Each structure stands twice: as C-alpha cells, then as structure tokens.
Amino acid sequence: MRIPFACVLLLSATALAQPNDSYRKFINQHINGRMSADRCDQVIGERNIKINVNDCKEKNTFILATTNHVRAICGQAGEPFGQMTKSLQPFQIIVCQLRNQGARPPRCQYRGQARTRKIAIRCANGFPVHFEGDIVHFEN
C-alpha cells in the first residue's frame, strides 16, 4: 500500500502540533483557573506535584487562566525574554511556598500568596513546557 507524500506531510505536521508529555505536565503543575491561596496543600497533593518520591517541591506557581490563554504566550501574546517567552499581559497567579522545610511527601505544607504578574515560560513547538517565574511589572 502506498501513501501519497502529501498525506505523510499532513500526518507529520499533525503529530508536531499535538501536545506532548511536557505540555501535559506543565498543565498539571501550573494551570488552575479555580486556585486560591488557601488550597495549596490540597491541590499540590491531589496533583501529586513534588520533586521526586522523597522530596517536596520548594515552590510551585499556579496560573489562574485557561490553557488557551497561557498557550497564547507562545504566540502573539508573548515576547522573547532571554531563552524564555514573557507574557505581554499580567496574569493572576498563586505562589505556593513550602512552609515545613525538610518535610517529605505526603507531609508537604505550603503557604499560598496571590499575585498579579507577567510570567516567563519556555515554549516548545508552540506549547508551554516550563514555568520559569513571575516578573514584577511596574507601569509608567
């Protein structure tokens, strides 16, 4: 059976445009439109966010937005920022900071703080794959 070359190109382009594991991990760790500062322990536990089996994650940031709004940063809603891409507009975020240093999962306890910041992410093939940090933004 011969597959026309145009079909092979279309299938290849479709495969490249599909979200990958890094994007799915980014969504799990960083996007939650209903997040609040008092839910860090609950959400981090439910989503199994940690460094590894033995270590709590020191800090995790949740972006209060849809996946489409965050993904748009990798296109027209973002600008180059070193090796990263910076959002043109600020986002509501919740920063969860580990309170009990040295704790091991499942005993990780976090203090949440709500902020409004531009964010810096790494994009791959048009998808966000790494949250670098938030950027304090001062308007003139």
Could you list the active site residues? Answer: 30, 130
Helix, coil or strand: residue 73: helix
- In sequence order, what are the residues at sequence separation of 6 or more whose Cβ sits closer than 8 angstroms to the Cβ of residue 25? 129
- E strands present in the chain: 59-63, 78-81, 84-87, 91-98, 110-124, 127-135
Torsion of CA 69, 114, 124, 71, to 10 degrees: 0
